[in-house]
Amino acid sequence: MNLYKLVIICLLVVSCKKDKHNDGVNTPVDYFKNGLLVVNEGLFQQNNSSLSWIDFSTGLINNEVFEQKTDRQLGDTGNDIGRYGNKIYVVVTTSSTLEILDAKNGNSLKQINMVDGGTPKQPRFVAFTNGKAFISCFDGYVDVLDTTSLTITQRIKVGANPNEIHVANNKIYTVNSGGLSYPNVDSTISVIDPISLVETQKIVVGKNPYRITSDNAGNLYIVVQTGLNTVATQLVKVKPTLEIDTVFNWPVNLMTKVGSNIMIYTLTESNQAAIQLFNPTTKSIVNSNFIDASLFTTFYGAQYDAHRNQIYCFDAMSYVNSGYVRVFTSNGVPVKNYQIRLNPSKTLIYE
Amino acid sequence: MKYYLVALVFWIVSYSAFSQDEKQLEELNIIATKLNKYYVDSINVYISRKDIEALQPDDLGELLKKLPGVNVKSYGGLGGLKTVSIRGLSGQHTSFVVDGFSQTNAQTGQINMGQVQLDNIESIVVQRGGTSELKIPTIAQLSGNAIVLESFQAKAPTIPFQQKLITKFGSFGQNDYTYIGKTGKEKLFGGIYFKYRSANGEYPFKYMNYKTQLSGIRKNNDFTDINSGFNLSYQPVKNHTINFQIQYSETHQGVPGAVVLYNDLAKQRLNTTNLQIKADYNGKVKAIGYRFYYSFMNDSLHYNDPDYLNITGELIASYRNKSHDAGFSMGIPLGKYFQFNTGVQEIISNLHSVESLNASPARFHFLSFAKTSFHAKKWNAVAQIGLQNIAEINRNGEKAPNRTRVNPFVEVRYHVHKNISLIAFYRNSFRMPNFSELYYNNIGNNNLKPEDAHQINLTTSYTIVDKNNIYLGLQASGYYQHVDNLILAIPTKNLFVWSIQNIGKNEVKGADAILSFSWSFGKHWSTQLTANYTFQQSLDLSDKNSPSYKQQVAYNPLHIVNGDFSISYRGIGIRYSNFYSSERYALNQNIPANRIDGFWISDLTLFSKFNIDKHNSVRFQFTIKNISDASYAYVKSFIMPGRHYLFTFVYEFI
């Protein structure tokens, strides 16, 4: 046998192998209706962030929506997705881009390279108000994008490594994590006026704040670290007047507003996980086992669908396996699971 | 988070142990002219200077990929990080030995094969089974496998003065200048080595961004490095030799990282220096041979990211890794059929960092082994037991627990016929968690256990034809490996909070085959054909509930094929070299989204050598690498260079 025969035999062996898995037939989507458009973060330096379309009418999943619409990939670490008017905004952190798509059909409208002076801004989250998109960037700024001209019109200096950004009380709040300066992390949140587009206040809430939401009364809830040299967390309630109201010593990791309550995901140092329901009015846990946490390998966030009155939870499956959207009723009863791509973290809900 | 790692291995016939002229080379030369009658006994793989010259690899990593059972992960072309795994064992199970001295790096647990230059290297052996050679330190006797290098300057000159001058020019601004000289006689000789290398590394690449062809130039991929060495050897009386070596190397390079879509702004830099001082004493009293050795290493690394988005506006990480390595080995013939070998070694390592490491760890690694070899006409057998103890201290925080391990190794070989042999071995080995895994800020876990490996191998060699200037030899192996307490870095609370844990299990079932053919015809013609094929199923057995359970481990192709053909007339010839790797997966879950396409890379070399007189010669070589300009990657998003060129000029006075 000579080399070439050997090579040919090997190639035949290889070419006869079939994929044991199929992660979706990815039937093209013309219009988004009655379903979920989920952003999958993917993994750092793998360029495998993606958008998955889950069609509730047909039960079909398309994991290549972005690729089919644009003939290119989304990029590296898609971190957030938001809809404002008739446009979708996808924030891609490591690629340092903002992808703007048509909200009806997903066609690409514009890609903005988020670079400042040759340095990637590393955009993280997006929030909307007053005709503008506010994008928190890890370089210490919140970028203001005019949603009509689709141009960045201003940069607002905030704290170190701003992460989640939230609109409430006619203000914009961003949590300054300072995570890249660990252990010298930041401990503030910045308040931005959406009219004057300036940071009007910065208040101390606790070390390494990285998540923020609000209740119906405009109170803010912020996840912070309990102290230095620990990853243990707690929840801080801040009044609309920016005074700290209560510090809840619960190891909150993620939170989602469900109706007038807040669903919190807690994870102890010994990895005891729970998904609980918190009533902001009574400041109490109303259901300590709202959703069975054992149904998840790696709980990675959730969103409430008021229209269908159900909750979409994300399971990152140890961060290295195909993730799931797990659907629950508003009472925490499991309904259905959809397997999509790596690290799903946020969704747009289509009626 | 952590990662990667060579001389001549001799299998010494038991009772004729330690003199050079009694050695039998039993490694399998997989690339060169033929497998001679000694080679068919071996499971170790041997690469000669001739092969290195013919292939002109950029570095050791690029050469090792030509060997059966070796899987290289290359994070870019010239100057980039390269790690190897041999028969499915990670690089940290591989010992690296140069001129009889082990090189260790307790911080990462392995050597970057992309930084090991080969211009002064005479031979390379990948040691998969056992060896009785005194030049092999204890750590390489006990590790899962070893890569053993021997340098030109470490061997006594055959004439009073020998030297080589090598220059290379290639694509992407590559400039390479090497000088090696040695003088003296066996009684007293000395040598020097100096190499300067630089390149801008700006290679064009193509990347299929779904249906859009993306073309770009690799940026921040430049490097400049120097390697230098001085050695002295003195033989006060016959059979007693003292060797001394000092080596220094320095590297300055960009760290381009992955090709990140829409963002090619990486500016990270990496500077390293490495100083080694080595000495050994080899003696022989009657038939008893012995060796004392000592080496010191001072390794420094400085990393800078000027765009890091922290409050100081940059990230600086610097590490200093020092080690003292001392040992003794001895071989004693016991009658006609038996030989006893023993050795001890102590390696003391410490790691220090001002900015990046709260811990200040030091490790005291004691290794010892005892081995008995039996050698008869048709049967050879080896039984070895190793004892190791690892004690650590941490001047600033909690230390890892002390560890003690006893590891057996047994090997049996049977000569069925003068041209056919069977070799079987079982080896139990382990690798310690490296300092990064144990002590790295926030994610290190000082309770990590060693990663345990079990290897079973069966090899058969067959010389089919060896006459009338025609040689045809074949070797085939089957192996099974099982790794417990596999050390993995995993995210815990979220993608930013990682932890290192002993949670993995891995099972490898593999087979490799080597074919070697050579034929000399006419008065001045010769031709060679060598090929090897590796099949390796490496399965993830970590978690029965994981979607990746019993799936192929990431970055392990199922099939690798190498095929080289050369033909020459009066020293002028052509060589066609091929490497094929089947698809691999970027993650353990073997789904299409994680697939990295297989690839076939071919290189073509034209060479000519002119002998000016008995000692003076010049050689010209022109190599086209990746002839088909294929776009390929070993590691997802780390695109390798397309077609490129290398011109080599060598002047030798030897």
Return the residue matching tokens 């998540």: A211
* Percentage of residues of chain A with pLDDT beyond 90: 87
Give me the pLDDT at residue B463, please.
86
Asked if B490's CB is within 8 angstroms of A318's CB, the reply is yes
Contacts of A2 in chain B (CB under 8 A): 517, 529, 531
Which alpha helices (H) appear in B420-478, and where do they start and end?
435-439
Asked if A341's CB is within 8 angstroms of B563's CB, the reply is no
Residue A147 maps to a domain: no
Question: How large is the average pLDDT for residues B93-115?
Answer: 92
Q: In chain A, which among 207-266 make CB contacts under 8 A with chain B?
A: 231, 253
Give me the pLDDT at residue B39, please.
43
Model confidence at B523, pLDDT cuts 50, 70, 90, reads: confident
Asked if A71's CB is within 8 angstroms of B212's CB, the reply is yes
Asked if B262's CB is within 8 angstroms of A113's CB, the reply is yes
Contacts of B589 in chain A (CB under 8 A): 21, 320-322
Half-sphere CA count of B440, side-chain side, radius 13 A:
21
C-beta of residue A289 within 8 angstroms of C-beta of residue A274: yes
Report how far apart the first and last C-alpha atoms of chain A are (Å, whole number): 64
Residue A274 maps to a domain: yes
Residue A313 maps to a domain: yes
Query: A49-53, A203-207, B105-109, B496-500 — which is least confidently predicted?
Result: B496-500
Question: How large is the average pLDDT for residues B326-354?
Answer: 95
Question: How large is the average pLDDT for residues A297-313?
Answer: 97
Model confidence at A16, pLDDT cuts 50, 70, 90, reads: very low
3-class SS at B420? strand
Q: What is the CA radius of gyration of chain B?
A: 24
Asked if A178's CB is within 8 angstroms of B311's CB, the reply is yes
Asked if B493's CB is within 8 angstroms of A95's CB, the reply is no
The candidate with the shortest Cα–Cα distance to B545, out of A335, A22, A297, is A297
Q: Does pLDDT of A311 surpass 60?
A: yes
Asked if B586's CB is within 8 angstroms of A46's CB, the reply is yes
Q: Which residue has the higher pLDDT, B76 or B27?
A: B76
This prediction has a pTM of: 0.90
Question: How large is the average pLDDT for residues B139-145?
Answer: 95
B212, B261, B589 ranked by CB distance to A320: nearest: B589
Contacts of B582 in chain A (CB under 8 A): 10, 14
Give me the pLDDT at residue A187, please.
96
Buried b (16+ CB within 10 A) or exposed e, B299-311: bbbebbbebbbbe
Query: CA–CA separation, B483 vs B489, rounded Å?
Result: 16
Query: CA–CA separation, B224 vs B199, rounded Å?
Result: 7
Q: Which of B263, B316, B398, B564 is most worth mutating to test chain A (most A CB atoms within 10 A of its CB)? A: B263
B209, B309, B591 ranked by CB distance to A73: nearest: B209
Listing DSSP states for B475-539 in one string gives EEEEEEEEEEEEEEEEEEEETTEEEEEEEEEEEEEEEEEEEEEEEEETTTEEEEEEEEEEEEEEE
Residue B232 to residues B137, B241, B293, B342, B535: CA-CA distances in angstroms? 20, 10, 15, 27, 44
Model confidence at B496, pLDDT cuts 50, 70, 90, reads: low
Q: What is the DSSP letter of A293?
A: G
The residues that bridge with A326 in the sheet, in sequence order, are A313, A337
Query: CA–CA separation, B179 vs B195, rounded Å?
Result: 6
Q: How many Å lie between the alpha carbon of B530 and the closest alpha carbon of chain A?
A: 7
Half-sphere CA count of B505, side-chain side, radius 13 A:
8
The amino acid occupying position B162 is Q
Asked if B263's CB is within 8 angstroms of A96's CB, the reply is yes
The residues that bridge with B274 in the sheet, in sequence order, are B249, B299
Most confident of B263-272, B440-449, B467-476: B263-272
Q: Does A7 touch chain B (CB under 8 A)?
A: yes
Indicate the number of domains in chain A: 1
Residue A283 maps to a domain: yes
The candidate with the shortest Cα–Cα distance to B477, out of B438, B517, B432, B535, is B535
Give me the pLDDT at residue A229, please.
56
Give me the pLDDT at residue A230, please.
63
Non-local (6+) Cβ contacts of A98 within 8 A are A89, A90, A91, A92, A111, A112, A114, A123, A126, A135, A145
C-beta of residue B20 within 8 angstroms of C-beta of residue B130: no
pLDDT in tens, B303-338: 999 999 999 999 999 999 999 999 999 999 999 999
Give me the pLDDT at residue A276, please.
98
Q: What is the DSSP letter of B374?
A: E
Query: CA–CA separation, A92 vs A49, rounded Å?
Result: 8
Asked if A122's CB is within 8 angstroms of B261's CB, the reply is no
Query: CA–CA separation, B7 vs B150, rounded Å?
Result: 3
B309, B530, B547 ranked by CB distance to A321: nearest: B547
The residues that bridge with A299 in the sheet, in sequence order, are A315
Q: Is the peptide bond before A120 cis (omega within 30 degrees of 0)?
A: no
Q: Is A68 left (phi over 0), alpha (psi -120 to 50) or beta?
A: alpha
Q: What is the CA radius of gyration of chain A?
A: 21
Residue A173 to residues A84, A189, A219, B158, B451: CA-CA distances in angstroms? 18, 7, 12, 78, 47
Q: How many Å lie between the alpha carbon of B592 and the closest alpha carbon of chain A?
A: 7
- Chain A residue with CA closest to B535: the answer is A10
Residue A57 maps to a domain: yes
Q: What is the DSSP letter of A179?
A: G
Contacts of A14 in chain B (CB under 8 A): 558-559, 582-583, 598
C-beta of residue A230 within 8 angstroms of C-beta of residue A236: no
Query: CA–CA separation, B358 vs B442, rounded Å?
Result: 9
Residue count of chain A, please give it: 351
Model confidence at B492, pLDDT cuts 50, 70, 90, reads: low
Contacts of B564 in chain A (CB under 8 A): 3
Query: CA–CA separation, B139 vs B349, rounded Å?
Result: 14
Listing DSSP states for B88-157 in one string gives TB-GGGEEEEETTEEE--TTTSS--GGG---TTEEEEEEE-S----TTS-HHHHHSSEEEEEEEGGGSPP
* Percentage of residues of chain A with pLDDT beyond 70: 92
Contacts of B492 in chain A (CB under 8 A): 271
C-beta of residue A102 within 8 angstroms of C-beta of residue A109: yes
Q: Does pLDDT of B499 surpass 90?
A: no
B261, B497, B589 ranked by CB distance to A95: nearest: B261
pLDDT in tens, A151-198: 999 999 999 999 999 999 999 999 999 999 988 899 999 999 999 999
- Chain A residue with CA closest to B548: the answer is A321
Contacts of A160 in chain B (CB under 8 A): 310-311
Q: How many Å lie between the alpha carbon of B637 and the closest alpha carbon of chain A?
A: 6
Question: How large is the average pLDDT for residues A303-329?
Answer: 97
pLDDT in tens, B581-590: 999 999 999 9
Query: CA–CA separation, A193 vs A146, rounded Å?
Result: 15
The candidate with the shortest Cα–Cα distance to B142, out of B94, B190, B179, B189, is B94
The residues that bridge with B302 in the sheet, in sequence order, are B271, B318
Q: How many Å lie between the alpha carbon of A42 and the closest alpha carbon of chain B?
A: 10
* Structural domain of A309: 1-62+250-351
Model confidence at B37, pLDDT cuts 50, 70, 90, reads: very low
Give me the pLDDT at residue A231, please.
67
Q: Does A306 touch chain B (CB under 8 A)?
A: no
Query: How many cross-chain Cβ pairs, A to B, lie less than 8 Å apart?
Result: 167
Query: CA–CA separation, B22 vs B134, rounded Å?
Result: 14
Asked if A2's CB is within 8 angstroms of B559's CB, the reply is no
- Chain A residue with CA closest to B474: the answer is A1
Q: Does pLDDT of B616 surpass 80?
A: yes
Half-sphere CA count of A10, side-chain side, radius 13 A:
30
Return the residue matching tokens 């990675």: A300
Q: What is the DSSP letter of B62?
A: H
Residue A276 maps to a domain: yes
Query: CA–CA separation, B166 vs B154, rounded Å?
Result: 18
Q: How many Å lie between the alpha carbon of B292 and the closest alpha carbon of chain A?
A: 46
Question: How large is the average pLDDT for residues B453-467?
Answer: 92
Contacts of B309 in chain A (CB under 8 A): 122, 138-140, 161, 180
Q: Does pLDDT of B21 surpass 70?
A: no
Report how far apart the first and last C-alpha atoms of chain B are (Å, whole number): 45
φ/ψ (deg, to 5) at A2: -100, 175
Model confidence at B46, pLDDT cuts 50, 70, 90, reads: confident
- Chain B residue with CA closest to A75: the answer is B261
Contacts of B546 in chain A (CB under 8 A): 318, 321
The candidate with the shortest Cα–Cα distance to B11, out of B241, B341, B235, B327, is B341
pLDDT in tens, A121-141: 999 999 999 999 999 999 999
Model confidence at B80, pLDDT cuts 50, 70, 90, reads: confident
Q: Does pLDDT of B368 surpass 70?
A: yes
Query: CA–CA separation, B314 vs B302, rounded Å?
Result: 13
Q: How many Å lie between the alpha carbon of A130 and the closest alpha carbon of chain B?
A: 29
Q: In chain A, which among 65-104 make CB contacts under 8 A with chain B?
A: 67, 70-73, 75-76, 92, 94-97
Residue count of chain B, please give it: 654
Give me the pLDDT at residue B42, please.
66
Return the residue matching tokens 């940026």: B219
Half-sphere CA count of A256, side-chain side, radius 13 A:
23
Query: CA–CA separation, A60 vs A345, rounded Å?
Result: 20
Element (DSSP H or E) covering residue A15: helix A3-15
Asked if A96's CB is within 8 angstroms of B262's CB, the reply is yes
Q: Does pLDDT of B36 surpass 60?
A: no
C-beta of residue B73 within 8 angstroms of C-beta of residue B123: no
pLDDT in tens, B405-416: 999 999 999 989
Q: Does A294 touch chain B (CB under 8 A)?
A: no
Q: Which residue has the higher pLDDT, B76 or B180?
A: B180
pLDDT in tens, A234-264: 999 999 999 999 999 999 999 999 999 999 9
A48, A160, A253 ranked by CB distance to B593: nearest: A48
The amino acid occupying position B566 is S
Q: How many Å lie between the alpha carbon of A95 and the closest alpha carbon of chain B?
A: 5
Contacts of B545 in chain A (CB under 8 A): 297
Give me the pLDDT at residue B13, please.
23
Contacts of A69 in chain B (CB under 8 A): none
Q: What is the DSSP letter of A49?
A: B
Contacts of A95 in chain B (CB under 8 A): 260-263
Query: CA–CA separation, B227 vs B83, rounded Å?
Result: 20
Asked if B491's CB is within 8 angstroms of A67's CB, the reply is no
Non-local (6+) Cβ contacts of A5 within 8 A are none
Helix, strand, coil shares of chain B as percentages rounded to 5? 5, 60, 35
Mean pLDDT score across all residues of chain A = 92
Asked if B258's CB is within 8 angstroms of A46's CB, the reply is yes
Query: A65-69, A243-247, A278-282, B38-42 — which is least confidently predicted?
Result: B38-42
Non-local (6+) Cβ contacts of A117 within 8 A are none
B262, B565, B637 ranked by CB distance to A3: nearest: B565
- Chain A residue with CA closest to B208: the answer is A72
Q: How many Å lie between the alpha carbon of A61 and the closest alpha carbon of chain B?
A: 14
Return the residue matching tokens 């700290």: A244
Asked if A67's CB is within 8 angstroms of B210's CB, the reply is yes
